[in-house]
Amino acid sequence: MKVLVVGVGGLGCPAALALAEAGVLILGLADDDSVDRTNLHRQILFSDSDVGKDKATAARRALVARASSLDVRVHGTRLLPHNAVELVRQYDLVLEGSDNFATKFLAADACAIARVPVIHGAAIRWRGTVLAANPSAGGPCYRCLFEDLPREDAPNCAEAGVIGPVVGLTGALQADLGLALLAGVEVAGELVTVDGKNAANPVRRRRVGRRPSCPLCGTSPTITSILEARYTGAPTCDSATPTMQ
């Protein structure tokens, strides 16, 4: 089992830890950022001693300390148009918890082109969203729900805030869906939402269908290659995306 974690932040840290503890043999970490003290409340693989250090390398050290037989491969880069398809093709599954819309849509497109399943994750304020997409199972994909990059700037973490436990739960749910998929359970189209303010029903699961007009996985797809100009958009929270009610 080989899993690529895109973004070693509030989502990627708990997801990677869950995968490591579950016995994933090879874990790739794609991130070019460094550890920031203001993020420690939700990036659970890091401590004060890691501040200023390379995230992916620090995360590798923490993961190997917990699972010494784990093969952690550090990719000190973001997912970018020139490397996305080649990178995701090296893995059986991608967990995407990136910090901007451009990377989220790029991950969706690259995984569809490479025919690699992807579990998308997002969280902001008290809400989280997880979507499982498996191109080999016939959709749906990220573009079935969110279509394209937003035209206007979205609030970032500093402006909107983010609750650490909500992000941690969302990342754990990503790992849960990912492990189910690796075990042969068909989870494509499963949408999980987290509402930290809803004490009675904080986690909801439902299935969504493929959108026939989707340009990525619809009946007549128009996105068949990676074009750099397609991914210009506003950066958002370290795990933000439009969340479903």
Q: What is the CATH number of the domain that holds 87?
A: 3.40.50.720
241 vs 36: which has the higher pLDDT: 36
* In a domain? residue 243: no
Q: Sorting pLDDT into bands at 50, 70 and 90, what band is 201?
A: confident
* In a domain? residue 134: yes
What proportion of the chain, given as a percentage, has pLDDT over 70? 91
* In a domain? residue 237: no
Instruction: Identify the pLDDT of residue 41.
Output: 92
The residues near 133 (Cβ < 8 Å, ≥ 6 apart) are: 108, 111, 112, 117, 118, 119, 120, 139, 140, 141, 142, 188, 189
Span 217-224, average pLDDT: 94
In contact, 91 and 110? CB cutoff 8 Å: no
Domain that holds residue 227: 2-231
* In a domain? residue 240: no
Span 20-47, average pLDDT: 95
Question: Model-level pTM?
Answer: 0.91
Q: Sorting pLDDT into bands at 50, 70 and 90, what band is 168?
A: very high
pLDDT digits (tens, 9 = 90+) for 106-135: 999 999 999 999 999 999 999 999 999 999
* In a domain? residue 238: no
Instruction: Identify the pLDDT of residue 234.
Output: 44
Instruction: Identify the pLDDT of residue 152.
Output: 62
Span 81-87, average pLDDT: 96
Report whether pLDDT(159) > 70. no
pLDDT digits (tens, 9 = 90+) for 62-71: 999 999 999 9
* In a domain? residue 236: no
Q: Please tell me the total count of domains within the chain.
A: 1
* In a domain? residue 194: yes
* In a domain? residue 242: no
